[in-house]
Amino acid sequence: MNTIKPLNQLSKLLLTLMTALTLSACGGGSGGVVLAPETLTAVATGTPNEVVISWAAVTGASTYTLYSTTDAALANTGVNFNPINLSVFNTSVANTADPASTSLTLSLVGDSTTYYVVTATVNGVESFTNSTATAATANSFAFGTTASTSETEVWMDRNLGASQMAGSSTDALAYGDLYQWGRPTDGHQTRAVSIPTTTTLSESITPTDDSFITGTDWTSTDSTGAERTAFLSRIDGSGICPTGFRVPTQVEWQAEIGADGINAITSAFDSLKLTVAGGRNGSTAALGNVGSGGIYWSSTASDDSAILLRVQSSAVSFDFAARAFGLSVRCIKD
């Protein structure tokens, strides 16, 4: 296994200069430059630990090659790498079945986030890489996607932690887990009736145990919620949603409800397969509203609380709740 080392500032400068000099010196073609592919994205397929990496086509390209590293410092240099220097990346892979394809399906291994860049080969000349790496992290659970009734967005077809898409709004197998707002998937989110609890607040937004932390908030830091909003908004799979997905904002929930005409649980189920999964009280850790109401977090903070969507038999509304509450999460495709 290669050892990946971050580029130091001098290396970055030399590499940037090399890029500029090489591009200006290239001959042949349109201006002599083989353009690097851009718009590199990663999206989980729904098969456990599988992602599709896609990029924009380059005119005349016969082959594309992905390069990867788990070194975030190296991946986020913002530099167009010269292929001769790509030994600093630990692996490379080409789509041998269809070399000119602008996407590649990969199976990820391990818990580390992997960063990808891509090159294009035109007339035997390999381009520099794109300058902005895309990131992906393996997820061990299966899921599907669903387009809303209005087809304005693509969503996961189930709540996080659910074993299947709901067959009805009261489908218990589709209820899923109950997350404290902005907290990682660390075991606290289990739906069991009796779970371990503690009143000791976490000193960071990554608790060291799986106990459900009771109170108004579960951490003594991040009073504004900014860190946790950023965490819930991650699309590299290192948050709680799979790669390419994130927790929706309040504005996105509102737009979906308006576009789909959602006004109660019946229309919410018809549109997005939302369920009446209930929630867990932040002070007592007791389950409540199971079978009668769906309560979904947004990624939007509000003072010392967070915004939620409440779906009931005859109404849909937005409210706020203490961040220690355990509620359902539905992810939206970025």
Instruction: Give the CA-trace dihedral at 176, 237, 154, 56, to 10 degrees.
Output: -160
Name the residue among 281, 292, 277 with its Cα closest to residue 322.
281
Give me the pLDDT at residue 33, please: 75
Structure-model confidence comparison of residues 256 and 32, the more confident one = 256
- pLDDT tier at 4 (50, 70, 90 boundaries)? very low
In the chain, the largest separation of any two C-alpha atoms, in whole Å, equals 71
Q: What is the pLDDT of residues 158-181, one digit of tens each?
A: 999 999 999 999 999 999 999 999
Answer whether residue 149 shows pLDDT above 90: no
CATH fold of 9-136, please?
Answer: Immunoglobulin-like (2.60.40)
Q: Would you list the domain boundaries of the chain?
A: 9-136, 145-333
Between residues 301 and 33, the one the model is more confident about: 301
Q: Is residue 17 pLDDT above 50, yes or no? A: no
Confidence label for 52 from pLDDT (cuts 50, 70 and 90): very high
pLDDT for residue 253 is more than 90: yes
Q: What's the chain's length in residues?
A: 334
pTM: 0.87
**Other CB atoms within 10 A of residue 193 CB:** 10
Give me the amino acid identity at 315. Answer: A
Partner residues linked to 118 by β-bridges? 66
Q: Which residues contact 144 (CB under 8 A, 6 or more apart)?
A: 46, 156, 157, 158, 165
Least confident of 33-37, 153-157, 284-288: 33-37
List, for residues 75-116, the tens digit of each pLDDT value: 777 778 887 777 666 667 777 678 889 999 999 988 889 999
Q: What is the DSSP string of 8-61?
A: PHHHHHHHHHHHHHHHHH--SSSTT--PPP---EEEE-SSTTEEEEE----TT-
Across the range 182-210, mean pLDDT stands at 97
Indicate the SS3 state at residue 297.
strand
Please say if the pLDDT value at position 7 is more than 60: no
